[in-house]
Structure 1
């Protein structure tokens, strides 16, 4: 049984405000991702975009507005977030449930051609290193030659001094950002679980294995090494504030 548009809209709006607590200059980062996608797909009649860890569709919906001629496939492991995205942003993407890094997740997308861009925002840092390495390899295999992977996430700097400095700069910027009465991560999930309309989705969520957590955040240089090992030819940072970066890898 699906949920109402009003319920989806309410929880997605709360999700948007909640995420502002954790993503520095969130709208600017979305704009940068869209800029890269726009550049990588210039001249294509119907570019194919894949979003990894799409949640309830924050990035997919913005990309759909920015590149209305694109086909977007949005993948996540969480049935609650997918149900919200599928309802509130029904026309933005084709929504797929799959566990990134697991065997066969890329095949579950059902792509009929090579992707032009694979994008992600504040999602891949949750993957243990082995699962991240597989995800990078599979993403490279999904992309056409010259396609891009665009990942906006937390990338700690290498070296203790630079890591502390970039973390401090980002923390100060985040502390200055207005969040009003926005729920934090734990409070959002606790409140959503009490909504009767989401009961079925939460019941499905309870049946899924809990995601693994990385032992410690991977540094920027470690991400670059994994991307190159996965087959990406070039890797560069196109935007940064503190430890928050938009990293682009090209096949």
Structure 2
């Protein structure tokens, strides 16, 4: 049985695992909160979508910072959704949706308008065509004056600059002492062996859920796709190496 205490332990372990790859992850969460708080200052009860919400790490932090917000988190992974629902039941409504499907808003019971759509370390799995389709759907859901924030590994089109940005991120991880944190594969191996997660793991297997290879898309490609989706202004507001917070204003 997955209770709230055990779920929170798993999410904390997930957060440490993620910091192995993103030493400044907590600062990045804070930056996202800064952007959303400023952009939605005139909205007393904003509607916010967490796209590819995972186990609810961002949603929980936003709920503490914006307690009046209505937050919906969507993800395709049954394990991560089970952890989010058990660990952070009051932070958001969590729903299953395959972001590659044309009807994913309907899958999640979602309707516009939204004040903000946010994503952290989730969209790099999507191909350029799938990402463009997702941005177009978000462009239709986010109201004029709303904001989209994508925090992820976003690369430079120039190979030399791309390599140096990766080096900077890795050097930061070494200085922060997170290189020995549990890695992605070890975390998932532990999940597979956990009795309390046997049900969600079985659902994950039955759906054949798996991440594809990273699409490796550049910041410029994301910006182009966002403008084509109807966002008027697109730009980087924070970066550490290739760890980037990209903002798009509707």
Q: Do the structures match in fold with TM over 0.5? A: yes
Q: Distance in 2 between matches of 1:122 and 1:108?
A: 22
Q: Distance in 1 between matches of 2:151 and 2:187?
A: 22
What secondary structure, in the 3-state scheme, does the structure 1 residue paired with 2:226 have? helix
1:79-118: CA deviation from partner (whole Å, max 9, x where unpaired): 1010011011000000000011211002233235410000
> Residue 51 of structure 2 corresponds to which residue in structure 1?
52
1:170 correspondence with 2:169: yes
1:244 correspondence with 2:243: yes
Give runs of aligned pairs for residues 184-195 of structure 1, distance below 5 A.
Answer: 184-195=183-194
Instruction: Give the conservation status (yes or no) of the 8 Å contact 2:154–2:244.
Output: yes
What secondary structure, in the 3-state scheme, does the structure 1 residue paired with 2:129 have? helix
Change (3 A) 1:113 1:155: closer
What secondary structure, in the 3-state scheme, does the structure 2 residue paired with 1:75 have? strand
> Residue 232 of structure 2 corresponds to which residue in structure 1?
233
- Give, in angstroms, the shift of residue 28 of structure 1: 0.7
Q: Distance in 1 between matches of 2:179 and 2:210?
A: 30
What secondary structure, in the 3-state scheme, does the structure 2 residue paired with 1:106 have? helix
1:38 correspondence with 2:37: yes
> Residue 11 of structure 1 corresponds to which residue in structure 2?
10
1:172-222: CA deviation from partner (whole Å, max 9, x where unpaired): 112222238632100000011111111010000011233452564011111
Gaps in structure 1 of 5+ consecutive residues:
none
RMSD between superposed Cα atoms in Å: 1.5
> Residue 202 of structure 1 corresponds to which residue in structure 2?
201
Question: Which contiguous aligned blocks of 4+ residues in structure 1 show a shift greater than 2 angstroms?
Answer: 107-113, 178-182, 209-216
Give runs of aligned pairs for residues 134-149 of structure 1, distance below 5 A.
Answer: 134-149=133-148
Give runs of aligned pairs for residues 83-162 of structure 1, distance below 5 A.
Answer: 83-162=82-161
Change (3 A) 1:212 1:21: closer
Change (3 A) 1:42 1:59: same
Give runs of aligned pairs for residues 54-93 of structure 1, distance below 5 A.
Answer: 54-93=53-92
Greater displacement, 139-148 / 165-174: 165-174
TM, length-normalised to structure 2? 0.95
Figure out how many residues of one structure are paired with residues of the other and give that number: 250
Give runs of aligned pairs for residues 207-222 of structure 1, distance below 5 A.
Answer: 207-211=206-210, 213-214=212-213, 216-222=215-221
Instruction: Give the conservation status (yes or no) of the 8 Å contact 2:21–2:173.
Output: yes
- Give, in angstroms, the shift of residue 228 of structure 1: 1.1
